[in-house]
Amino acid sequence: MEYRPILSGLVGAVIAFFLLRAVLNSGKKSPKVDDAGWTHVSNTPMLIAMGVVFVVIGTACFALAIAGTLNIDSDKRGAMLFLGASMTLLMAFGTYGVFGVAAKFNTQGILYRRFTTWHLVPWSGVSAVVDHSMWGTYLRSTSGRLWIWKYRRGFSELLMELCTHNISGANELATSDFASDQMHAVIQQSLLERVWEYREETLYPALFGDKSEGIFVLTSEMFVSQFKCEEIDPRWLTYGVHVYAPTDTRDSWLYVTSGMSNPWDGEVGAYSGLGYEFVLETKGRFDWAIRSLMSMLAFNLLLAKGVYGEKPLIDVGDRVPLHQAIDGSDTSEVRHLLVNETQHFPATHQLESGELEFVHLVGATSREIDWAKTHGSEALTEKLASLGLAIVTDPARQSIV
């Protein structure tokens, strides 16, 4: 038995494997960023080597095609002509993909070169990124197809920019097997940062006003002292409560949580994170309101982690005991929080990562909660609303039942 062909095939396969691995790894190095702020999507040394191979094979195939036309054996002429011509075209396209195009980009758009001519395409002119199994990766744009193979150095950064501009197909490619673990993490972080920034700097001010007091974040001491929980997710310490002063259309102080709608997994779904944030309102600016909302936030995070078994997350209709007066005094009868749907401002909003709903909390007395156990939370809410008590929490008010 002749083993030489088998051995040669194995050696060829090993060489091809390491060549492909070198091509993939060479594309992960940091790209060039010029003084004008353009990030270059450039060939790697291995891609250049492959381009040279394309040229050599293409030339040989062209010669094969010519030989096919001159071959006197009619049986071989057609096959040689077809094989030589088709391989020549394929190698010509490969050569074009390596040497015939170049690209660089910034936040405004992409500058693309076909042979010697440069074209500036704004991001608004790019409709999709397509990863074709045979022909490679290209951008669909108003200037035609922009061929930019994904193994070029700087392509990962280009893909990040495409995700930023919500270009069709970018998120799918960024989360595919092509993307490295590091890139997956960057994509997740990018989506998280965009959603976080939009919620804090655009959505909240539009709904609640411009006058706010930053954020009061959860602390590890709070989890230990209040919930006897020492094992916490470090990300929870970025969650907190914003405080908004009254506006021309709202005469109450408003407190809103921040963090439960964070898309930590970096994925777009029906809901962003847990899908909602808590809102509480008071007549004045009170520290007890901040503490109460922080407690509700921390409790819900522990529920989500499963600290309390299969107990579900806080939801509309729930009646949550505080185990003390809401303001910490000895006189207040308000010792529970009633969880309601938000009615007095738009409750549901669409974030890039999914839906966000604002859930309203209002204080209730122990006797009111006992009454609601028989008649239902909705009935209690309607009763409070009829007296103008369903929105603003007032520790000094008397029970209505």
Q: Chunk the chain into consecutive blocks of 10 residues (it has 401) and report each block's average pLDDT, rounded to whole numbers.
A: 58 65 57 90 86 85 73 64 81 91 95 94 95 92 94 87 85 68 59 89 94 91 94 94 96 96 87 96 97 97 95 96 95 96 93 94 97 96 95 96 93
pLDDT attached to residue 59: 86
Strand partners, 41: 103
DSSP string, 26-42: HTTSPPPB-TTSPEEEB
pLDDT attached to residue 12: 64
pLDDT attached to residue 58: 81
Number of other residues whose CB lies within 10 A of the CB of residue 300: 21
pLDDT attached to residue 127: 96
pLDDT attached to residue 171: 75
Give the residue ranges of DSSP H helices in 285-376. 287-305, 366-375
pLDDT attached to residue 295: 97
**pTM (2 d.p.):** 0.61
CA separation for the pair 382, 380 (Å, rounded): 5
pLDDT attached to residue 46: 79
pLDDT attached to residue 289: 97
> Where does residue 104 fall: left (phi above 0), alpha (psi -120 to 50 degrees), or beta otherwise?
beta
pLDDT attached to residue 4: 58
pLDDT attached to residue 224: 95
Which pair of structure tokens corresponds to residue 176?
Answer: 């595919």
The answer to whether 318 and 296 are in contact (CB under 8 A) is no
pLDDT attached to residue 29: 63
Helix, strand, coil shares of the chain as percentages rounded to 5? 45, 25, 35
Q: How buried is residue 400: exposed, middle or buried, by Cβ count under 10 Å (0-12/13-18/19+)?
A: middle
